[in-house]
């Protein structure tokens, strides 16, 4: 049996649950109290893709403005930083201050310490609030705050996947911007809501690791193809 050491815990605001950081022999795991694993450092290809795929669609990346919702283990942030140029600014909104602290320590080494990159701006708080205050600000908005539109950790995040949440994200985009959403599972109702907001939607299925096993869903949505 594998041995895990608990290194930290933090309350998840508004949920009564906790986020827990564990260290294994050569990996880390973030779990929700009750035992569900939110993510680990071994399987992050779909988190990487959430950062890479929308940035690949941009015509200019040199001075791109990107918003990421949910730092997690920093893989999406690291993937965005690989795609954008020296004058880019990448804002990461993270609800739980301890998650930011964990990424400043040994956990951050797994994603290459992207919080130390001079292009990174960290916003400790709710990405929903930031979206509402950011009209016309971003070329890419990449959201991964839970297990997907059917959240497991915090029902307050449901708004982000509602028609009004999608509309607020759309408003926070620059004219030729791209929205990207991560989900553990396909969700035709959510895809329908994106389309009903007038967005052109592409659904991608991405392996969590390598080329077999679990697959995750990423939606890319924009006003123009």
Ligand X SMILES: C[S@@+](CC[C@H](N)C(=O)[O-])C[C@H]1O[C@@H](n2cnc3c(N)ncnc32)[C@H](O)[C@@H]1O
Residues that bind ligand X (CB under 6 A): 38-39, 47, 50, 69-76, 93-96, 99, 126-128, 144-145, 154, 157
Give the nearer residue to ligand X in terms of CB position, either 38 or 173. Answer: 38
Give the nearer residue to ligand X in terms of CB position, either 195 or 209. Answer: 209
Beta carbon of residue 91, minimum distance to ligand X (angstroms, whole number): 11
- Give the CB-nearest residue to ligand X: 72
Give the nearer residue to ligand X in terms of CB position, either 62 or 111. Answer: 111
Beta carbon of residue 94, minimum distance to ligand X (angstroms, whole number): 5
Give the nearer residue to ligand X in terms of CB position, either 54 or 72. Answer: 72
Beta carbon of residue 98, minimum distance to ligand X (angstroms, whole number): 9
Give the nearer residue to ligand X in terms of CB position, either 108 or 198. Answer: 108
Beta carbon of residue 199, minimum distance to ligand X (angstroms, whole number): 21
Beta carbon of residue 41, minimum distance to ligand X (angstroms, whole number): 9
Ordered DSSP codes for the chain: ----EEEEEEE-TTTS-EEEEEE-SS-EEEEETTS-EEEESS--HHHHHHHHHHHHT-S--TT-EEEEE--TTSHHHHHHHHHS-TT-EEEEEES-HHHHHHHHTGGGGGGT-GGGSTTEEEEES-HHHHHHT-TT-EEEEEE-SSSSSS-SS-GGGGGGGSHHHHHHHHHTEEEEEEEEEEESS--HHHHHHHHHTT-EEEEEEEESSTTSS-EEEEEEEES--
């Amino acid at each position: 049996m594998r041995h895990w050491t608990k290194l930290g815990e933090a309350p998840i605001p508004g949920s009564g649950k906790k986020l827990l950081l564990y260290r294994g022999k050569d990996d880390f795991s973030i779990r929700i109290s009750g035992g569900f694993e939110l993510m680990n450092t071994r399987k992050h290809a779909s988190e990487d893709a959430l950062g890479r795929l929308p940035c690949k669609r941009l015509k200019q990346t040199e001075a791109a403005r990107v918003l990421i919702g949910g730092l997690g283990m920093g893989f999406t942030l690291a993937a965005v930083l690989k795609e954008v140029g020296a004058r880019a600014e990448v804002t990461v909104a993270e609800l739980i201050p301890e998650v930011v602290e964990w990424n400043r320590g040994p956990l951050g080494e797994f994603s290459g310490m992207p919080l130390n990159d001079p292009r990174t701006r960290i916003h400790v708080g709710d990405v929903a609030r930031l979206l509402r205050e950011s009209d016309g600000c971003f070329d890419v908005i990449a959201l991964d705050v839970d297990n997907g539109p059917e959240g497991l950790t915090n029902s307050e995040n449901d708004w982000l996947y509602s028609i009004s949440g999608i509309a607020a994200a759309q408003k926070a985009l620059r004219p030729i911007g791209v929205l990207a959403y991560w989900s553990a599972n396909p969700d035709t109702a959510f895809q329908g809501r994106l389309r009903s907001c007038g967005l052109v939607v592409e659904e991608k299925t991405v392996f969590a690791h390598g080329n077999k096993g679990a697959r995750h869903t990423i939606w890319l949505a924009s006003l123009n193809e």
